[in-house]
Chains A and B, each alone.
Chain A
Amino acid sequence: MQIAEPLLVAIEELSKLPSIGKKTAQRLALYLLKSNGEQFESLVKALEDLKAKIKFCERCFNLSEEQLCIICKNEKRDKSKICIVEEASDVIAIEKTHEYSGLYHVLGGVLSPLTGVTPDSLKIKEFLKRLEKEKAKEIILALNPDTEGEATALYLSKLIKPLRIKVTRIARGLPIGGDLEFADEATIGRAILNRGDF
């Protein structure tokens, strides 16, 4: 292919992003080339800041700018509830509903023996330590209602039950096999309100 190398590299890198194909990558690269310097610089800076400034919250492993994320730092949040989710994107999805005022714990995945994801590769030990320190009264399991998500929920409930803490699970209403992060707010909001015993 006879294309200037820097352009080719940019297209290749862009097409590695999720839901961006070769053609979209090429359009983006050419657009960025044409755009004015200011717009280009601010995009570059935003991307650099993203990587440099965002880290994991020390307590809940949500994405954060500081040691503790905005949710863990917020005194008004209800500290008696911890909602366990798979990924930080699920925190965003639940926050959008404005139905939940408790804290979170991001596992960073779900159990999947087939692909080698064990309890040790998730933030489960960290969660149990949290339970010793914090005075949570209710743990809400908000994992995706698919095979691995449910197995992980079962596993966590077995770990928590002996500690005499209430364990609930968000109500079904989400499409089976679906992804929490892609569901609409109304569905997730109702699922949080109608959570049931587990």
Chain B
Amino acid sequence: MSLTSISLRNVRKHTDTEINFAGGLNYIVGGNGLGKTTILESIYYLCTTKSCCSKSDANVVKFDEDIFEINGTLEGLTKDSATVIYSVASGKKQYYLNEKQIFKASSVIGKFPVVMLSPSDHAVTQGSPAERRKFIDSVISQSSRTYLDVLLEYQKILRHRSALLMRIREGDFADSEMELEAWNQKLMSAGEQIINHRVDFLKGFNSYVAESYNKIMGKMESPGITYLYLGGTKSDNISKTFKDMLSEYKVDEIRRAANLVGPHRDDFIFEINNINLREFGSQGQHKTFQTVLRFAEFFYIKDVSGNTPIFLLDDVFGELDAQRAKKVSEYLSDIGGQAFITLTDFGNISFLKAGEKDRVIKLNEDSKIAYA
């Protein structure tokens, strides 16, 4: 699947911008603050109905304007046109697919798969466990609707359970003990499904990580993701461990009125040759691993869904050394899909060559487009 053209109206700096894209690699080149990332953000909007970079749609509207509009033409098995419109005044966002309004974001997600590597990915390898869970959950959810459903149910159970724990803390435990047990059972059944799903997923995903890592590093090392569930237990008997931990933490859970046991507290350890990246990795190794994870995600979704994602890479060459950057660029020309890469200067990077299927798009000082 590929995006053939896009038009942006009042999207951040872009008052009225139209761009035609190539089916291979599209290099978007321009100085700081001219709106390169905004183009990636707009593509992300078309594919997911959401922004990749801002929590509020209102922030994306050009200063002093009311409405932003993004239009795109996508070609896969069929030719589709997609439109996102947002108005500050009404606070409403509308998504149109082939001129028909779509009311549920979930019916768009997965139709135009997209993978994005951005500087904010540093949180995945360097941030809190929540960031790693978010990454893993989003990759699995894109390829499994069942997983997404269980995940949503689990979150609902957590909210109920914490309200119940709060009530127990303030009242009489004897009355609520059986109710807590009922919710424990719900928690365990959904939680176990999540853990098993993640374990199975990593069995397959780790080989994608290894392949991408070795392509980018150009040598054989063994990177991997280890899943620490239920406090890092080594036990295979998830049900029993889950149950034992719930009784062990019962008093604590009530005292703090918080859910202390379950996959919402799990972590994933990124390793290179069994060395923990988070503890021992350099900045460069972190950046490399973040890049590896997105490439692995790209190929995983491509294989599982049979639909080649659009690959967005925001400032990927900024922090990599010349050798790794060269490998990444070679790898990119090999992905058999469409990618969008932002750069501050194309000419300065000697190894970059735009092939027949590629295009260099320049953003001038007034955010106007020129094709090189």
Contacts and interface: CB of A to CB of B under 8 A. Distances in A.
Interface of A: 111-114, 116, 118-119, 147-148, 150-152, 154-155, 158-159, 176
B182 A147 contact: no
A116 B159 CA distance: 12
Contact of A113 (B153, B163, B181): B163
B357 interface: no
Nearest to B153: A147
Contact of A155 (B156, B163, B167, B179): B179
A118 B160 CA distance: 11
Given A113-B167, A147-B153, A155 B160 contact: no
Contacts of B186: 147, 150-151, 154
B178 A113 contact: no
Question: Closest 6 interchain pairs by CB?
Answer: A113-B164, A155-B182, A113-B163, A154-B182, A114-B163, A113-B160
A119 B179 contact: yes
A159 to B, nearest CB: 7
A148 B161 CA distance: 11
A176 B153 CA distance: 11
Contacts of A158: 178, 181-182
A118 B167 contact: yes
Nearest to A158: B178
B185 interface: yes
Interface of B: 149, 153, 156-157, 159-161, 163-164, 167, 175-176, 178-179, 181-183, 185-186
Most chain B C-beta atoms within 10 Å of own C-beta, residue among A116, A158, A159, A176? A158
Q: Is chain A's binding surface mostly helix, strand, loop or mixed?
A: helix
Contacts of B153: 147
A147 B181 contact: no
Given A113-B167, A118-B179, 20 more contacts: A111-B179, A111-B182, A113-B161, A113-B163, A113-B164, A113-B179, A113-B183, A114-B163, A116-B163, A118-B176, A147-B156, A147-B157, A147-B160, A151-B182, A152-B182, A154-B181, A154-B182, A155-B178, A158-B178, A158-B181
A112 B176 CA distance: 13
A121 to B, nearest CB: 12
Contacts of B159: 114
B177 to A, nearest CB: 10
Nearest to A156: B182
Contacts of B167: 113, 118
B160 A159 contact: no
Contacts of A111: 179, 182
A176 B146 CA distance: 12
A112 B156 CA distance: 10
B132 to A, nearest CB: 26
B15 to A, nearest CB: 39
Contacts of A154: 181-182, 185-186
B185 A148 contact: no
Most chain A C-beta atoms within 10 Å of own C-beta, residue among B164, B178, B182, B183? B182
B182 A148 contact: no
B178 A151 contact: no
Contacts of A114: 159-160, 163
A159 B167 CA distance: 20
A113 B160 CA distance: 5
Nearest to B166: A113
A198 to B, nearest CB: 12
B187 to A, nearest CB: 10
A155 B183 CA distance: 8
A146 to B, nearest CB: 9
A151 B183 contact: yes
